[in-house]
Chains A and B, each alone.
Chain A
């Protein structure tokens, strides 16, 4: 249809005296952009919006997913979840793992990107090299790391023993288990983020650095006053995606032990695992949907918060008038 309209339009514009062709032409100019973006929104509607709305409906019901029936129970599912001890433990764990992974990850990937931004020999090799961990399946990473972090027979505790540190209960204590899981996340994502930041760094006009160098700015000064402000939009992108990704962390904690339920004392139960356990474990999809919506709200709030903080923080050192 769109094709036909286009042809008509082309002809129409050459013969302005023809009224209906003119109208078609105007209509085309106005409507075409919408038609071109419509497929995206159709697909989004079916696979994105509909599930979100459907989840909201189910979260208000005592839902039997197998018989596809349920009864309306109002906010009971939300009330149950908010009263459940495990929800709050899961929330604590999720944020703890988020902080332990996002902060070191960001610092490290900025550092790596800055290093890669130099004139290295075999540049492509190094740049591709940092991406290798990203290619490894998360579940494979999880299995390898959970063996490394095994409490008695794991290599990490062996190495710690060599330097005189007592074995750490990676699968028993709360904070060590979060550190172990954050290590997996960092292993996987640091290189990826470094490449994104590197791309941003390479887009910075080199004459800015030259001018600064002539003015006597040292390396560190140039990095802080030119590089960081210039990559701010990319930095915000990386922070927001890391926030969303880390708040939904699932694969790594799930394969951290063989039961996959977050530890006997919920030491490393995250929100998404709690949701999965409720849905597929207990077959209670009403409550699982309520958890999904709570997680959605948490992510929205937290992403906005991060955006504000990042903007404020980075723009304060923005002396070059960058975006």
Chain B
């Protein structure tokens, strides 16, 4: 999923509306220690602290301040709140339109300097950032233990045990589906019924899909790219050996098995539309497919693209466990001028209270379990999805997400090679076997 997500950013960078919506998914937000002591310390210290101007660089819509989406008019202004709590701090907010812009900027300036005091990093390029974890400040602090989901911490901790990213949001995935299409196929169509139907492994998911396709003659899921992301993130190790860093993708029978399972099912069940293509977007409204895997930020994409439909709903289930798509961290570049102040800001912004407000502002789902108890999150529901209780659904989904498998420096390139292979099969350029052969030669060329 990581993969597709990144592609998304690139493509959309061009500025389509879809992009803007997608972006909403990646935001981040702060968490701070829930303990009241933390803020007390802050205010006491503030009296002696020197006046500083901190720059905060993000992308998409993290939900910090209304300048991200002037039309949306956020309920909470987190930046103003922080400056009020810390009178010595002035925050300059620099928000890029999308993740790809932020990534290019990040790597261009990470070495020579010139990054903001606090920089947001997205899950898709986190493995690359981890190779340079020594250039980022260590945020480890006993007070932060237990603030985040385990997977969120694991992905931002390097081999030396340094935590270089304060988790903001996550993208735990559920299954979005269209109830009228399930009805048509004679399948259960209420959220609980669909969840029961899809509970199980991928083989079960594809069995249900086959029933649907046989009954209706139409595609069950939106794209092989989306499903592949769900499958590959459950395989550990996937492409690289965690100890040696060697590429093992071609020796890993699980990878080829997942590819075969998916390409076999895709013949009848995939709409064969590439993610983020105009045809795929149109498919949300025209019934080209009945389900898609959906993280919280995808809800806005669907409601924005299929505004006239009334039967989209969310099933609280994910095949074979859990899955995450998207999410970000706040990092503090080690060569900045105000590292200590920057760490305080990152700490505060990623505290559960603040992330809950960011969720209320922009729908960025917290990576802090404590925030799931916050009424701002727990009572959230989505009218477009027929009143689905999104707050509780995604809390369940988040708890099912395991730490993501090891992703080294070649993860993206290997995954691109396989994603491209799947797309070729979808598009009919090659059959599954020929396409895999091309992927093998591409993977062998890596390194």
Contacts and interface: CB of A to CB of B under 8 A. Distances in A.
B240 to A, nearest CB: 15
Size bracket, chain B contacts:
35 or more
A154 B278 CA distance: 9
Interface residues of A, number: 33
Contacts of B110: 66
Contacts of A169: 427
A171 B277 contact: yes
Interface string B386-423: 00000000000000000000000000110010011111
Contacts of A151: 277, 279
B132 A172 contact: no
A12 B237 CA distance: 84
B276 A152 contact: no
A61 to B, nearest CB: 15
Interface stretch (A37-45, A123-131, A252-260): A252-260
Contacts of B277: 150-151, 171, 257-258
Interface in A259-294: 259-261, 264-265, 280-283
Contacts of B413: 282
Contacts of B44: none
Interface in A140-187: 142-143, 146-147, 150-154, 169, 171-172
B296 interface: no
Given A66-B111, A150-B279, A257 B428 contact: no
Interface in A76-95: 83-86
Nearest to B111: A66
A261 B416 contact: yes
Contact of A153 (B16, B278, B420, B424): B278
A124 B355 CA distance: 59
B3 to A, nearest CB: 10
Given A147-B278, A259-B276, A264 B7 contact: no
A87 to B, nearest CB: 10
B279 A152 contact: yes
B14 interface: yes
Given A264-B423, A265-B424, A66 B107 contact: yes
A71 to B, nearest CB: 16
A258 B422 CA distance: 16
Interface in A17-62: none
Nearest to B135: A66
Contact of A68 (B104, B112, B282): B112
Given A150-B278, A172-B428, A258-B277, A283 B107 contact: yes
B8 A258 contact: yes
Nearest to B447: A80
Nearest to B421: A264
A68 B107 CA distance: 11
Contacts of A139: 14-15
A149 B291 CA distance: 26
B371 to A, nearest CB: 32
A65 interface: yes
A67 interface: yes
B276 A258 contact: yes
Contact of B429 (A257, A265, A281): A265
A259 B10 contact: yes
B128 interface: yes
B7 A259 contact: yes
A153 B128 contact: no
B2 to A, nearest CB: 13
Contact of B11 (A154, A260, A264): A260
Contacts of A172: 427-429
Contact of A85 (B14, B420, B445): B445
B271 to A, nearest CB: 10
Contacts of B8: 258
B135 A153 contact: no
Nearest to B13: A260
Interface string B1-43: 0000001101111111000000000000000000000000000
Nearest to B438: A265
23 contacts: A65-B111, A66-B107, A66-B111, A68-B111, A139-B14, A142-B14, A143-B14, A143-B15, A151-B279, A152-B279, A153-B278, A154-B278, A171-B274, A255-B14, A258-B276, A260-B11, A264-B421, A264-B423, A264-B427, A280-B104, A281-B412, A282-B413, A283-B128
Given A68-B111, A257-B274, A258-B12, 4 more contacts: A146-B278, A264-B420, A264-B423, A265-B430
Enumerate the 5 nearest inter-chain pairs by beta-carbon distance, A residue then B residue, closest first: A258-B11, A264-B423, A259-B7, A258-B276, A264-B420
Interface of A: 65-68, 83-86, 139, 142-143, 146-147, 150-154, 169, 171-172, 255, 257-261, 264-265, 280-283
